Structure 1
């Protein structure tokens, strides 16, 4: 049994990668990294906060045996894939793509160049618990649930979340939660073997840690139960994981 550990990762310490149209802040080194498992925390291998300029995006590319969750903070993603799925992904829409045996997809900023409106997203990858599954896709609008200030399960494969999960995750050892807090509102971090708490917007007071700002993260091992209170209007993404990659 691992000893309880709480590690704060300041947003400024993330890897920074950019080109003419993409500004990417990476909690784990992702660009050009072909051994994502080496730097993973629990099951979480990729956690990128990306800003995509208007009229730009990721052209068609392939994924295999990866569970991909895209969470929009601002703007709209235009999604298309080789399984025939397409849609507009906006803030508060839970989106999951399971690559399985292989899927081609593209993701682009829904705003045209003349609109000059950036797309701001967080994209997260974990492995499936069963390789070579049939590719699948799911999206559900959970804005109404998020408006309560409660912790909302965005995606999960855990049996205990079966009745509260927005989209089904192809890994029974992982769950992603989100919460939108008004100033003064609080939530409790799930207790789990591995956890990852990310401040997507705003500023919060994290019990026994202190003030966290946008972009900051906390990596948890064998602990949880901490109280997190919003200093200003805030949004957080929280991973609950029952095992690691090894």
Structure 2
């Protein structure tokens, strides 16, 4: 088993006033040659957007982009005519493929919205752009791994153009569970959203991340009430 630790305070940070963003991997003005990606996981941004503010229309292509609101509501609009809201409890996936232009803004004029922006390098380029969005029940991740993303439209969760699986989990203090990887050659980047946990023997605090590979399973044990996101991705792509 190989691991790499990303403590919360070692992340890149950019505060633009309306946007306060922490970068687990090199992004925009933050460049760290040692943190370009974890396998096919290219971007993990922990964003807070002020009320009434947001990202204007901008293009993407050949990237799988996942938005996970942690609190508040995002408003999405794109040049294909899609317009909708993404709330806490939802997961949205955008397969940019041949190209799409979209905007994301805080739906509230007064309250902050906090969300994760995640980019996955696809296993097939120039696909037809596509969206998928689903809502997930909090009770279905209590002391268990709740699958919210997969590589198949017939499996649980939104589906993307990559052999990747995401799981959310809300563990009570003291609860432990074994995570078994879905595919040989994959690794998992574990991100602690809230609380504290010991993952593969490594103690983690809030917003710490741990990359794990060259194993087929590992143990997650909460040392306090803890919410986690586990992102399993190919290490070779």
Describe the SS at the equivalent of 1:146. Answer: helix
CA gap 1:107/1:153 in 2 versus in 1, 3 angstroms: same
Distance 2:157 2:234 in 1: 19
RMSD in angstroms over aligned alpha carbons? 2.3
Q: Is the 8 A contact 2:38 2:235 kept in 1?
A: no
Cα deviations across residues 4-60 of structure 1 (Å, max 9, x unaligned)? 311211010001112121111100011147999981111000001011111111011
Aligned length: 234
Match of 2:218 in 1: 226
Match of 1:178 in 2: 168
Structure 2, unaligned runs of 5 or more: none
Distance 1:106 1:34 in 2: 24
Distance 1:233 1:23 in 2: 26
CA shift at 1:208, angstroms?
A: 1.5
CA shift at 1:214, angstroms?
A: 1.2
Q: TM-score, normalization: structure 2?
A: 0.90
CA gap 1:108/1:140 in 2 versus in 1, 3 angstroms: same
Q: Is the 8 A contact 2:141 2:168 kept in 1?
A: no
Q: TM-score, normalization: structure 1?
A: 0.87
Match of 2:192 in 1: 199
Match of 1:99 in 2: 96
Given candidates 146, 149, 152, the residue that maps to 1:155 is 149
Distance 2:133 2:99 in 1: 19
Map 1:57-206; keep pairs closer than 5 Å: 57-112=54-109, 115=110, 117-144=111-138, 146-157=140-151, 163-171=154-162, 173-191=163-181, 193=185, 194-206=187-199
CA shift at 1:147, angstroms?
A: 4.3
Q: Is the 8 A contact 2:26 2:32 kept in 1?
A: no
Q: Is the 8 A contact 1:17 1:31 kept in 2?
A: no
Distance 1:204 1:227 in 2: 10
CA shift at 1:151, angstroms?
A: 0.7
Q: Which moved more, 1:140-149 or 1:60-69?
A: 140-149
Cα deviations across residues 111-132 of structure 1 (Å, max 9, x unaligned)? 10xx3x2111111101221111
CA gap 1:35/1:137 in 2 versus in 1, 3 angstroms: farther
Cα deviations across residues 204-242 of structure 1 (Å, max 9, x unaligned)? 1224112x1111000112125222122333211111123
Match of 1:42 in 2: 39
- Is it true that 1:51 corresponds to 2:48 in the alignment? yes
